Structure 1
Amino acid sequence: MLKPIIQEEATGCGIASVANVLGKTYSDMKTVANAMGIYAENKSLWSDTQYVREMLSSSGVETSPDEIPFESWGTLPDLALLSIKYHQESGKNFWHWVVFKRLDGQEVVLDSASYLPSNIRTDFDQMQPKWFIEVMNA
């Protein structure tokens, strides 16, 4: 049974998404992130991909070197970080991090947002990913 990690800070989606990939609690992942100089309050966490890559890499998890444009749900790898709610503020790109997983043919999105009625999402038509980062050997 999937037990999604919920972000404990309004801007903690990157930390929560990495926790969802690694199977850690939000507080454990936040401690690791903070020790690496990564803080949820830093807007760069949801406007730059290097931070989630660094957190995953520190646990031995590989990611695709580049962001891959989203084409369809069916073409996604079995595990990926997705950018949804993509928008610009003052010319800078921002997004919300979520995790896509395919388990035994079932596709789900783990969305850490605390306001959702369910953090295991299958309402794919409501999410509009811009691109994804493939996650390997997690």
Structure 2
Amino acid sequence: MNPVIQEEISGCGIAACAALTSITYVQAKEAANALGIYAEDTALWSDTEYVRKLLRALGITVAPTETPFDTWESLPDKALLAIKWRMEQGRLFWHWVVFVRDEREAVVLDSKKALKTNTRRDFGRIKPKWFIRLG
């Protein structure tokens, strides 16, 4: 699985869905727009239903609830993580990233364009608040 770079400032959820389904950002954005989901809508960073709806439409099984983050070791092999969690003007916001583990390693795929590398292994710097288990 490879990271997909978000092409819009609030496109991290769309990019995460693209990475999970091995499609381009443009393809994921087209699927999102067809469902009434737009990167310009800041609710994409503050409501889990948008990304759940897109993942289901792309064929990914999504857990019905969020699970509080405990340890990296306790994460499932595939999860959508909420990082950079914060409150702005009374509304919750976060940045979506993908956690994947295989027999060789565990990585976080981060869509942020400004990063030196979008495949992250610097787990000590990433502070997840919670995650969504993916099937």
**TM-score scaled to structure 1, two decimals?**
0.95
Task: Check if 1:66 corresponds to 2:65.
Answer: yes
Q: Which residue of 2 aligns with 1:45?
A: 44
Q: Which residue of 1 aligns with 2:9?
A: 10
Q: Which residue of 1 aligns with 2:30?
A: 31
Superposed CA offset, 1:58-111 (max 9, x none): 122111110000000000000000000000011111000000000114100000
In the alignment, the residues of structure 1 paired with residue 36 and residue 59 of structure 2 have an alpha-carbon distance, to the nearest angstrom, of 18
Q: Which residue of 2 aligns with 1:117?
A: 116
Whichever residue aligns with residue 75 of structure 1, its letter is S
- What's the CA shift for 1:127? 0.5
In the alignment, the residues of structure 1 paired with residue 17 and residue 23 of structure 2 have an alpha-carbon distance, to the nearest angstrom, of 8
In the alignment, the residues of structure 2 paired with residue 105 and residue 49 of structure 1 have an alpha-carbon distance, to the nearest angstrom, of 30
Identity of aligned residues (%): 52
Q: Which residue of 1 aligns with 2:129?
A: 130
- What's the CA shift for 1:31? 0.4
Runs of 4 or more off by more than 4 Å in structure 1? none
In the alignment, the residues of structure 2 paired with residue 59 and residue 6 of structure 1 have an alpha-carbon distance, to the nearest angstrom, of 18
In the alignment, the residues of structure 2 paired with residue 3 and residue 76 of structure 1 have an alpha-carbon distance, to the nearest angstrom, of 19
Q: Which residue of 2 aligns with 1:97?
A: 96
SS in 1 for 2:17: helix
